[in-house]
C-alpha cells in the first residue's frame, strides 16, 4: 500500500511517501514558515523524490490534531482536496500518536506533549516495547503539574517528546529522575510516524469523513465564554 502522509499540526511540517511501511521519501521543515506556503511544494517534492505521482498513491493520511488550529485546518483541507480529487481513502491520525513512532527502537514509556499555552499541554502516554507502540491513555489537555503527577506513577524510563517536552522537562525533571528529554532529531512529530500510525490503526475511510480534532475551543471562543461567565 502506497501512502502519502502529511503533518502541519504545529511549527514543524513534514510530508512522507511510504510503501508497505517502508519510507521512500520524506521532507521536513522547521523554519517557521507558514504551512500554506510550504506544504504543497513539499508534497510535490516528496512524490518526485519517490518517483511517484499522486495517482500512484493508494491512500492519504494527515495529523488531524491536536495542535495549532490553523496548521491542522491547512493539513486536513489539503488532504481532503487531494483525496476527493483522486478518489482516494484518507485517515486522520493523532499528532501525539504519530510522534510516539519516533521511538519504536526503545523500551520505555513515551510522554508526548505539545504546548497548549496557559501552563497546559496536549498530551498522551504510550509504551514502546518490542518494536511496537501501545497507547496508554487518550489524548487530553492538562496542566503541566497534573502531567507530572501522572508520570510519577511510573518507575521506568520515560522519554519526553513533542514541542512541549522541553517546557515539561524544565518544570518537573527534578521530581522525575527517570524522565529524559528526547534529542531534537526525534523530538517532533514526523509524517512517517503519521503513516505508521494510520497503517497500524487501519483507519482509512472516505475522505468526506475526515475532520480536524480539537481538544479545546479556539482562544477567541474561550475568552468570549469567560466574559459571559460560562464554563469552558
Provide the pLDDT confidence category of residue 223 given band limits of 50, 70 and 90.
low
Say yes or no to pLDDT of 42 above 60: yes
The pLDDT assigned to 33 comes to 77
Is 97-187 the same fold as 2-95+189-215? yes
Provide the pLDDT confidence category of residue 31 given band limits of 50, 70 and 90.
confident
Say yes or no to pLDDT of 44 above 80: yes
The residue that leads in pLDDT, 29 or 215, is 29
Domain ranges of the chain: 2-95+189-215, 97-187
Say yes or no to pLDDT of 84 above 80: yes
CATH of the domain spanning 2-95+189-215: 3.30.420.40
The pLDDT assigned to 154 comes to 98
Would you say the C-alpha torsion 49, 52, 54, 59 has a positive or negative sign? negative
The pLDDT assigned to 21 comes to 96
Burial of 189 (0-12, 13-18, 19+ CB in 10 A): buried
Provide the pLDDT confidence category of residue 224 given band limits of 50, 70 and 90.
low
Say yes or no to pLDDT of 128 above 60: yes
Provide the pLDDT confidence category of residue 230 given band limits of 50, 70 and 90.
low
Say yes or no to pLDDT of 13 above 70: yes
Give me the CATH topology for the region 97-187. Answer: Nucleotidyltransferase; domain 5 (3.30.420)
Neighbours of 37 (CB within 10 A): 10
CA atoms of 201 and 199, how far apart (whole Å): 6
Amino acid at each position: 500500500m502506497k501512502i502519502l502522509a502529511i503533518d502541519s499540526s504545529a511549527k514543524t511540517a513534514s510530508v512522507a511517501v511510504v510503501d508497505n511501511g517502508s519510507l521512500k521519501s520524506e521532507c521536513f521543515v522547521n523554519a517557521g514558515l507558514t504551512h500554506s506556503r510550504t506544504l504543497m511544494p513539499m508534497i510535490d517534492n516528496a512524490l518526485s523524490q519517490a518517483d511517484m505521482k499522486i495517482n500512484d498513491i493508494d491512500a492519504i493520511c494527515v495529523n488531524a490534531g491536536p495542535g495549532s488550529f490553523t496548521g491542522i485546518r491547512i493539513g486536513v483541507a489539503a488532504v481532503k482536496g487531494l483525496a476527493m480529487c483522486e478518489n482516494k481513502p484518507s485517515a486522520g491520525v493523532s499528532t501525539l500518536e504519530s510522534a510516539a513512532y519516533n521511538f519504536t527502537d526503545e523500551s520505555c514509556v513515551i510522554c508526548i506533549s505539545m504546548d497548549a499555552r496557559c501552563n497546559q499541554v496536549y498530551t498522551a502516554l504510550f509504551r514502546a516495547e518490542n518494536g511496537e507502540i501501545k497507547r496508554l491513555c487518550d489524548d487530553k489537555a492538562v496542566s503541566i503539574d497534573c502531567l507530572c503527577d501522572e508520570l510519577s506513577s511510573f518507575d521506568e524510563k520515560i522519554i519526553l517528546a513533542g514541542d512541549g517536552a522541553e517546557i515539561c522537562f524544565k518544570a518537573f525533571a527534578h521530581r522525575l529522575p527517570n524522565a529524559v528529554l528526547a534529542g531534537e532529531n526525534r523530538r517532533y512529530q514526523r509524517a512517517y510516524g503519521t503513516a505508521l500510525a494510520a497503517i497500524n490503526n487501519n483507519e482509512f475511510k472516505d475522505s468526506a469523513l475526515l475532520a480536524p480534532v480539537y481538544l479545546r475551543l479556539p482562544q477567541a471562543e474561550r475568552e468570549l465564554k469567560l466574559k459571559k461567565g460560562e464554563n469552558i
